[in-house]
Each structure stands twice: as C-alpha cells, then as structure tokens.
Structure 1
C-alpha cells in the first residue's frame, strides 16, 4: 500500500487533476533523481535503474529523502527484483487488498519507467486483447499488414522491452493464460497473419511479466502446471504491525481527503477504532479483551480500511462540515463488512457486544453506543 501520493496536476493551472496518476508520473522526480545518482552502476540489460536503486525507490531511502511507498520485508522485495532480473516471470499472490497491484506497478516503474502496459484478467478477456488485434477497415482494404495490426499490451511490451502487468490472472480463461507460454519461454510471439520478418516478434531486453492473483480467486481458473513453472511465486502478506498499519491508513486517507477537497483529516481516535476493528474482524489476533473473534468472509484488508476512512471523512464534511466521528464510522463500516452474507452481519453485531463494549476510552464508548446504526 502506498504511503505517499501527491497530485501532479494543478487545477489552478487550468488542468484537470488526475484521480490516480501512475507511479511513473506520481514519482517522476524520485525516479529521475535515482537514475541520475545511479549512473555507472551495474544494472540488468534493459533496466532503467540498478537493483539497489529500484529497492530504494520502493522501500524508501532516508538519506535521499525518499519515503517508503509500501510496507514489505526487504528480503521479499529483493527476491522480486532478482526474479525479474533473471528473466523469470513474477507472480504475486495474497489476500485481496494487500497491495499486490500497487507493488507490481512500483516494480514496473522502477524497472522500465512505465507501468501502464496492463492486462486486467476477467471471464470475458480474449487472446487478441492480450497480444494483438486488427484495424478491420485497413484489414479489409489492404489485407494483413503491419499497418493494420493493433498491438495489445503484450505485443507492446515485447516490442519496447518493458514490463507487462497481468492483474488477476486466474480470473482469465485457461486458454488465454496459456498464450503466455511462448513469450515467457522463447521470448517470441508468432504473428501468422503476416509474412516475412513481420511474422515473428522477438522480445527486447527488459521485457518481462508481473502477474497477480488473490488467494480467494486462485481456484476460479487455476493456472496450468506449465505456466506455473515459468513464474517465481511471492506471497504478499497483510501488514502485521498495528502501528505500521495505523500510519499507512492515516496517510493514505489524508491524501484521499485532500483530493476530495476536504480540509479535515480523521481524528486519531477514529482511526484507531477503524484499524483495530479491521484487525479484529480479519483475525489478526486478539488486540483487546473478550477473546478472539471469528474471521469474516468479507475482505477486511488495509486497502478497504483506507476506503472506509475516506468515506467517513466525506460523510462528515459534505453532510455537516465537521470532522469524522465514531458514529460516522459505524455508518460507513457496515457497507464494507455487511454485503450478502447474513453471518457477517451477525458477527459484526457480536463484535460490538463482545469487544467494543469492553474497551476503555470515550471514543470506544461512543462507538459502542452508535451500534444501533448497524443495518
């Protein structure tokens, strides 16, 4: 999960503010700084930064004034960078909301300076959306030609020597997944419609694939054994440390509130309620009296906590022009926890009776007394 995102667009300059600029735009100054300092350092073929500089970009470097962008173990990030440097595909797996997509974006920006060659896995995705398609007007008039070919992310990545990100790969049909085999093994894509030199596309140095899969969807379209062999797997775990998660939710929600035009940030007691509730309900351990809670089927990730914090601030400011309160949190947390599972609704109510009621502090008392707002 990123800990810093400042808008690179200026409304005052007459330009629309981007809702979510990609990492290479968001952190363009840091990438340029690291690249300048990195001159002459050994780096893998086709890479913009050395492994050391890429590690500093992702995990931060206090000496250079670069803040960490994600909470992750150093050894894990180093393994990921080494995997990409060896030419192996990288598979990031983990619970929903553990910042796998953001991590793949940061890795791509560090390696090749671009994170936008992205494939979004889903039941409707087809092979031509991954590899290439055709401009059918030109195809009818001229027949198959390089001019009529419309490159998709995989074609563009191989042609330019860049990282391609395949999000939620296990949600794509098996036959679509397996079209990656040739590109990962032989680094070549056949284009049978074209003759001569245009019929084969050979990957340039720097090309690779970073895929992600969340553990709740891995069984939807389980990857073939052949495709798994071409990836190195890394598990991205939830944030274990309470203080680290608290700081991340505080910073990320403050950024979102600024982007929404809200001058208020969430009070620390409300953030404590939010983070503690999420950790309790996802089974991160007993952080108070009353024993451990049953895990919910809903996703209680750090990313969801940030979304709830943003919603609390929006509700409080735009409805009543005040800062968020425990009562707002009860209203907003219900939509995240209570979806279509009646058991989760019961567990949430039980949480207030068994946990919130027994904790000390005025904010916990106000939180408990607002339980009637639950659906």
Structure 2
C-alpha cells in the first residue's frame, strides 16, 4: 500500500489524508491504459481492473498495483458485480473491518471520485440524501432548478457515479426511508418544481453499516431488499492480520512523516496475538480460556496501537518500536469499560503475558503503566 508519493502533485503533498483517487492516481492511470475489457456504462475501469486495483497484482508493463484489501477475493468480486447491476451495495460487519476503506476505493476506481459522500449521524436529515435550497434564490425566484442545492446523492444520480453513505444505521429510520424511492425507481421527485431527477446509467450506492454501535437504527425490510449485503469479516488468519497491520502502519508513518524505523514485525505480531486471543477468548495454544473485553479489538484498532507506538518511539524513544512505546495505547484499546475491561486485561497480563517466553518486557511495561 505504498503512498505513491512521487506521483502526488506538490499542491496535495501537504494534505494529512489524500483521497484514494489522488493517492493512487498513478495506479489508476496505468490500469486505465492497459484495461481493454468491457466496462459498464460510465465506469472508468472494467470490473476486471477494479478487482485488480483492490486486490493488487502486476500489469504487463511491470507496474505493481498495491493491494488495498487483504481478504477473501470472492467478497470483492461480489461487491463489484453488485455495483454493475441495479442493486445497491451494503458493506456490513463489526467496526474496524475496512468497510469505509473498501467503499472509498471501489468508488474511486469505478467513478474516478470517492467524494460523493454522505456521513450518517443521528442528525442527518433528508436534505443530505435529497437536496436543499439556496434560500436567497428561493426568496428571489421561488422554487426553481437554480435554487436547488444538490446533495452528493443527487449529483451522483445526475452524473452516473457512485454515491457513498457511511454508517447507514446511524441515520434515523424515517430519513433512511428517503432512499427507498431512489434505489427502487432510480429517480428523485422534486414536488416543489413539479419535476423529477432520473438517474443516469452508472449511478449506484455503496452504504456501510455495523451492528455494534449504540443507538443503531435497524434497516426496514423494504430498504434492506434494495441492497445486496456483503459482510466483511475480521481477517481469517494470523499472518493476514499481521500483514494488514504492518502495511497500514508503515503507510501512516510515511504520511505523518514520523522519524522512526519501519515498525518491527515482532512487535506487530505481539499486538495482533493479544487482539486475537482476547477476541477469541482463548490462548493461541488452546490451553487457556480467556475473558473477552467489551470492545471489538478490530484490525483498525491494532493499526492505531502500532501507529501511536511509532509516534511515541519517534519523539520520546530511540526510534525503534518497543513494548514501552505501545503499552499505553494497547491498554486504551482494550480497556473501554474502566471496571470490567480492566479486570479482563489484568487477568490476561497475569495468566498469559507474565508466563509467555519473550514477553517479560511487555509485562514490566504494563505494570509501570497501570
């Protein structure tokens, strides 16, 4: 997942986070140049090229396409094929399973932009999904096309591109239902002007949702039927999760310009081991049953732990990631409930960390931090 820094325009190099279509512009251009397969209407790349962009590979001219998602290839194929039909795509799973990441890269590869985005919150109203009004024009001219302020959804419909809805289940149920007509009829009535907007070919919607947040609004059966749901799981294997954490933390270190060495695989393996054992409720050798904390302990949180440790090492250590650098953020990721989770963590430290060969430094660091 290299940043392709040499291909980023100088005007964009100071941005903290680049959009996928900017950060990976070189890869997308190379894919477009080689891509001679049939494309759905208004797609920038064919389904074959979109898959290659997401999963990585090598082009005939030797260009390396870095993998954006490490996991089940079939899930990505289903997601891409869904977007080539008239069905919307719902990426579902626990927090931290790369739903937003996959959504962004799918939109960037298919439409050339990932920025037609609606962020779902408890305060999201229908104007975010439909349209608003320029009230100065509305007062001066009355309801007219010129007075309409289009939402990202409306812009995607008019231009035949992908609209993204993040955290769909955070949006109030009555607002969610505004999507039903859009997804079923591919049109949006505007009663104030006695007109309708009809979607151009290529339009579709990618929504993300998880079932762990408090305050989640369940989707109605009518809305659920308009989506094809793809569940993104936590990484299946230990090695796969280690690779994801290593790639993303290395990438973040470069983006933040941290003066630190590439994070050591041994330390990353230790973080991933802790997360997987506590998630699964059993030690890796299967001999010790463990209590699980209240949090999800996702791969995204493991990346955050390593990245925070890199910053500690860079500015307050010797630039080499060590147990003392990660222990604070590791404890913070595990202990969400200051009572119950702290008990779980302390029991794990005593039963596993203290007794495991080569982990004495982590145990000492944990005792100093608690």
TM over 0.5: yes
- Write the distance in 1 (CA, Å) between the matches of 2:271 and 2:111: 37
Moved more, 58-67 or 345-354: 58-67
What is the match of residue 210 of structure 2? 214
What is the match of residue 257 of structure 2? 261
Moved more, 263-272 or 74-83: 263-272
Is the counterpart of residue 59 in structure 1 residue 59 in structure 2? no
SS in structure 2 at match of 1:297: coil
Mapped contact 2:294–2:337 kept (Cα < 8 A): no
Alignment match of 2:239 (pick from 243, 247, 250): 243
What is the match of residue 297 of structure 1? 294
TM-score under structure 2 length normalisation = 0.93
Runs of 4+ with >3 A deviation: 3-11, 13-16
Mapped contact 1:290–1:354 kept (Cα < 8 A): no
- Write the distance in 2 (CA, Å) between the matches of 1:285 and 1:217: 25
RMSD value, Cα: 2.0
- Write the distance in 2 (CA, Å) between the matches of 1:57 and 1:113: 13
Alignment match of 2:275 (pick from 264, 273, 278): 278
* Alignment gaps of 5+ in structure 1: none
Q: How does 1:140-159 map to 2 (within 5 A)?
A: 140-159=139-158
- Write the distance in 1 (CA, Å) between the matches of 2:104 and 2:12: 25
Is the counterpart of residue 113 in structure 1 residue 112 in structure 2? yes
What is the match of residue 353 of structure 1? 350
* Alignment gaps of 5+ in structure 2: none
- Write the distance in 1 (CA, Å) between the matches of 2:54 and 2:165: 20
Q: How does 1:116-127 map to 2 (within 5 A)?
A: 116-127=115-126
- Write the distance in 1 (CA, Å) between the matches of 2:309 and 2:58: 32
What is the match of residue 132 of structure 1? 131
> Cα deviation per residue 1:304-338 (whole Å; 9 max; x = unaligned)?
11111111111122124432211222122112211
SS in structure 1 at match of 2:319: coil
Moved more, 212-221 or 17-26: 212-221
- Tell me by how many angstroms 1:89 deviates: 0.6
Mapped contact 1:330–1:373 kept (Cα < 8 A): no
Q: How many aligned residue pairs are there?
A: 366
- Tell me by how many angstroms 1:10 deviates: 6.8
SS in structure 2 at match of 1:282: helix
Is the counterpart of residue 369 in structure 1 residue 368 in structure 2? no
> Cα deviation per residue 1:64-85 (whole Å; 9 max; x = unaligned)?
4212111121111111111111
